[in-house]
Chain A
Amino acid sequence: MASDNDNGSLDNSTALPIHISSLTKKYGDLYALDSVDLEIKSGEFLTLLGPSGSGKTTLLMAIAGFNRPDSGSIRFGDQEVILTPPHQRNVGMVFQSYALFPHMTVAGNVAFPLKLRGIGAQECEQRVAEALETVQLSGLGERGIDQLSGGQRQRVALARAFVFGPRILLMDEPLSALDKKLRERMQIELKILHRKLGVTTVYVTHDQREALTMSDRIAVINHGRLAQVDTPEVIYNHPANAFVADFIGESTMLPLDQDQAGNLHYKGSTIARKPPGDDADGWSLVVRPEHLSIMADPKTDNDKTIVFRGKVVETVFQGETAFSIIAIDDQTELQIRFGTGSKAKSGYPQSGADVSVGLGRDDVIVIPGDQRQ
């Protein structure tokens, strides 16, 4: 696993940590990056996740050296690189468009960074062959780029990015041009490749599922600020704020009322105690569809379960899962997700039916902020 050595040295380790502090970049009046602090550990796979325009690509390009931030610092290990031009940063990079050189063969593409470093023909050839083997393209070195499939192009772009042994690898939505099946397979392959190379990897995507699948840690970014940086499990199960809760996974947010004793309520049900040491304006309950279950007969709250009553608006079958939309009042709808197959034979709730929906108290997620309009 990633080492916690934050002073990361330039010795012969295979990866470098990246220290980013107070990084700011403005385009006109708009903050693309607003004083971003981020510690990327040596060897870790960190994903920058955010909607388009959130600043994730700006941050990646700043690390690569293609845009110069207005202020702040980026250090690779203990070396400040903010003024270092891209070609001296020794960073492997994979673009969404692959950006393979069409006037060169596969081997020519992969050899490009080696030739720039003056590596002799024989070693060059050997390293290209090794890199192509790593991405399972052995024997395709003499092919032209236009003779490759999308997935093969992706692998060439990867091989080219790591063949010269960079200690940092940057990827800008590298899988988004592939179809779903191939994309999911490449996600696993990239993860395996990352483990093999042990190189610090910064990955940009807007696809939360991809981020959850691949990352050691996820940095959720919005409006040029980091909304939360943590492991996929923590990001998903303990979102720090409404943006993260809403952006990662599906959720409904219910505004909570606070009493004198520090308890939070929703429509008379006691949900939780106010989290200590945090004094927000308001609090919301995050309800995820997979945390809910339909209760056999009408019940009320108890030690283990919070119960919502509502009417089924619609039930939708989606293959591996199905979900129902349940209106618990005029303005609020909950979604509940079920497994399908033999277990679900008892049938799904019919639209129009009155149901009781249970939320286990272990699954209660309370975030600061009150979405009440």
Chain B
Amino acid sequence: MSWWTRPASDTQVTHGDRFWLYVVASVIMLLLVLPTFIVIPMSFSDSQYLEFPPSNWSTRWYEVYLGSTKWMRATATSVQVGIITMLVATPLGTMAAYALFVSGHRAAKALFMFLITPMIVPVILIAIGTFYAYGRMGLNNTITGLVLAHTAMAIPLVMIVITAALRSYDLNQERVARSLGATRLKAFFLITLPQIKFSVVTTALLSFLTSFDEVIIAIFVSGGVNATLTKHMFAALRDFIDPTIAAISTIMVLVSTILLLMTQFIGVKEK
């Protein structure tokens, strides 16, 4: 029996019957990753301009990036804001998700929806609103301002992932722990947290990525010495297109991919 006529699953559908599905799926996946893959060879070009495919290869644009104080400072800002956002959004979002999940109050659902609105509202609106609000509060171009805005963006993600984790968790375990002598806080840390810890780590990584990749809010509220990497890249694209952008993009793709793979790996482990 050839591959073409072999059943593809427990049903009698053969790989042949499904061939169209494989084609469609491949095209879609290609469309999704192609733009990313084009950037990678472009970053290794020797040319002054963005060029595909490159005629000569070199790593000069990585050297430019690594040698530039401006790029390095922006990278430091991005990493710093990403880490602080992660450290703030993960516990806050976890606490909110836990509280709303456990409370059973009739307002819990509404509050949940309210807290995940940053995910639904167009980011440009949040960016403009934040910009004007920060203008009055003096938070524009500050690390604090960026962290607050990015935390608001990351909390919905944290809440959704943690709520999903709590759904597959038997809350009676916490009750038992309390009846056995643990305070509520102890019961959470000794019993609940160890069982959702992989989800918590996943949300931490996602929070970092949310901040690290974020560009729209950063364009509005970050600047000067506290401009993020994404803001500089956007400005660079507008003002002088050179392959440094491609080099940085490649590095960012690498970081994001590693972090996402880590979350996938962790997710499998928790099952």
Contacts and interface: CB of A to CB of B under 8 A. Distances in A.
Given A97-B170, A99-B170, A102-B195, A87 B181 contact: yes
A189 to B, nearest CB: 20
A86 B178 CA distance: 6
Question: Chain B: interface residue count, which band?
Answer: 10 to 19
A112 B177 contact: yes
A239 to B, nearest CB: 33
Interface string A43-65: 00000000000000000000011
Contacts of A101: 173, 177, 191
A116 interface: yes
A160 interface: yes
B172 A87 contact: no
Contacts of A103: 194-195
B180 A160 contact: yes
Interface string A92-103: 110101011111
B185 to A, nearest CB: 10
A87 B179 contact: yes
- Determine the main DSSP class of B at the interface with A: helix
B99 to A, nearest CB: 17
Interface string B153-191: 000000000000000001011011111111110110011
Contacts of A102: 195
Contacts of A112: 177, 180, 190
Contact of A87 (B173, B182, B194): B182
A113 B187 CA distance: 11
A81 to B, nearest CB: 13
A129 interface: no
Q: Which has the most chain B C-beta neighbours within 10 Å: A86, A92, A112, A113?
A: A86
Contacts, number: 65
A116 B173 contact: no
A164 B180 contact: yes
A101 B195 CA distance: 9
A99 B183 CA distance: 17
Interface string A61-94: 0001110000000000000000001110111110
B35 to A, nearest CB: 42
A64 B172 CA distance: 13
Nearest to A61: B175
A160 B183 CA distance: 17
B241 to A, nearest CB: 53
B182 to A, nearest CB: 6
Nearest to A89: B179
Contacts of B178: 65-66, 85-87
A116 B178 CA distance: 10
B181 A113 contact: yes
Contacts of A180: none
A145 to B, nearest CB: 11
B170 A116 contact: no
Contact of A117 (B170, B181, B194): B181
Contact of B175 (A89, A92, A95, A161): A95
Contacts of A160: 176, 180
A93 B180 CA distance: 8
A64 to B, nearest CB: 6
Given A99-B170, A101-B173, A103-B195, A93 B181 contact: no
5 contacts: A85-B178, A87-B180, A95-B172, A97-B170, A161-B180
Given A87-B178, A164-B181, 6 more contacts: A66-B178, A86-B178, A87-B179, A101-B191, A113-B180, A113-B181
Closest 9 CB pairs of A and B: A113-B180, A99-B172, A93-B179, A116-B181, A86-B178, A99-B176, A99-B173, A95-B172, A103-B194
